[in-house]
Amino acid sequence: MARYIFQRVLYMFLTLVLIATFSFFLMKMLPGTPLTMEDKLSETQKEIILEKYGLDDPVPIQYLKYMAGLAQGDLGISFQFDNREVTDIILSRIGPSMQLGAQALLIGTALGMLLGLISAIYHNGFLDYSSTFVAVIGKSIPSFIFAGLLQYYVGLKLGWFPVALWGTWEHTVLPTIALAMFPIAIAARFMRTEMLEVLGSDFIQTARAKGVNKFGVVFKHGVRNALIPLVTVMGPLAISLMTGTLVIEKIFAVPGIGEQFVISITTNDFPIIMGTTLFFSFFFVFIILVIDLLYGIIDPRIRLAEGEK
């Protein structure tokens, strides 16, 4: 097991190097420099600044320099915020995004699974149709609509929670709900389909023939067998939720990383673009590793052979 994880971590770094290379050259293909928008600077001033940041070197040299810095854990210094390390900027911005994403993911998965289970157990009954209705709404209505509705009715009219901004946990409630609608819908849909299939399988009949009651059949025998496809879809969803969602962050004025990322692209702030991309990529490969390990925990058939005898 330790060897397997070590191997996977090695591959992770290889993946990250490849991602860094591709994004570096892709980014350099964007038109303009960080100074394109600066009208007040003279050509000479621009040249001096470009030289200072090493932007007048040929692209391959810049790439090697960047990778050398990266190897030492140095993501560089931001162009827009003078003298601020990219690492600092990302770390200060990622907190709110991660917190919102994690909350939405947890609440969404738990509620969605519950809805899906209810649907499967009361298949084709009233409860099934109601929860399917919720799932369809959650999937088809974009989160910014929910955000607006929540702000107006819950935030403004009822005044239960702050409409926007960041600070206490109360500030996180509305954006979390708005973000959670999608994972609720996805989890409910997958759980329902999978559970229905599992409940129709032979081993469920075996369990019933043993005298196991409905609760035992669903929770002891059903759920675990229905989880694999759910984990497969929830993994990537977890990443997209936790790496910041521009729209929700914008609407609720959350100082998250999503907004930061977009600004850095429009201003050609190369170190920030690279840093954020790499950070997201790292997060992505890490979650994939976690998912692969989760598969093994859920389903013994996917578990690795425990050493050769």
- Binding of other proteins at residue 232 (CB under 8 A)? no
In the bound state with other proteins, the residue whose beta carbon lies nearer, of 167 and 300, is 300
Interface positions, 271-300, toward other proteins (CB under 8 A): 298-300
Nearest to 66 by CA among 124, 239, 57, 50: 57
Alpha helices, DSSP H, located in 72-156: 86-121, 126-140, 143-149
Instruction: State the helix-helix crossing angle for 270-298 and 257-266, rounded to 10 degrees.
Output: 140
Residue number with CB closer to other proteins (212 or 262)? 212
- Determine the Cα–Cα distance for residues 243 and 240; give it in Å rounded to an integer: 6
Considering the complex, state which of residue 19 and residue 291 has its C-beta at the smaller distance from other proteins: 291
Please report how close the Cβ of residue 33 comes to other proteins at its closest, in angstroms.
56
Compare residues 218 and 278 and give the one whose CB is closer to other proteins.
218
Calculate the alpha carbon distances from 278 to 24, 33, 267, 274, 287 in Å.
10, 21, 18, 6, 14
How many residues make contact with other proteins (CB under 8 A)?
21
Among 301, 306, 308, 309, binds other proteins (CB under 8 A): 301
Sign of CA dihedral 151, 157, 161, 166: positive
* 240 touching other proteins, by CB under 8 A: no
Kindly tell me which of 72 and 215 has the beta carbon lying closer to other proteins. Answer: 215
Q: Which residues does 245 contact at the CB level (< 8 Å), separation at least 6?
A: 97, 100, 101, 143, 179, 256, 258
The reply on whether position 158 binds other proteins by CB under 8 A is no
**Is residue 85 left, alpha or beta, with left meaning phi > 0 and alpha meaning psi from -120 to 50?**
beta
Residue 55, classed as helix, strand or coil, is coil
Q: Which lies closer to other proteins via its Cβ, residue 48 or residue 302? A: 302
Residue 28 near other proteins by CB under 8 A: no
* E strand or H helix that includes residue 258: helix 257-266
Name the minimum Å distance from CB 150 to other proteins. Answer: 39
Work out how close the CB of 134 gets to other proteins at its nearest, in angstroms, rounded to a whole number. 25
- Footprint of other proteins on 198-227 (CB under 8 A): 201-203, 205-214, 220-221, 224-225
Residues of the shown chain interacting with other proteins in the complex, contacts defined by CB under 8 A: 201-203, 205-214, 220-221, 224-225, 298-301
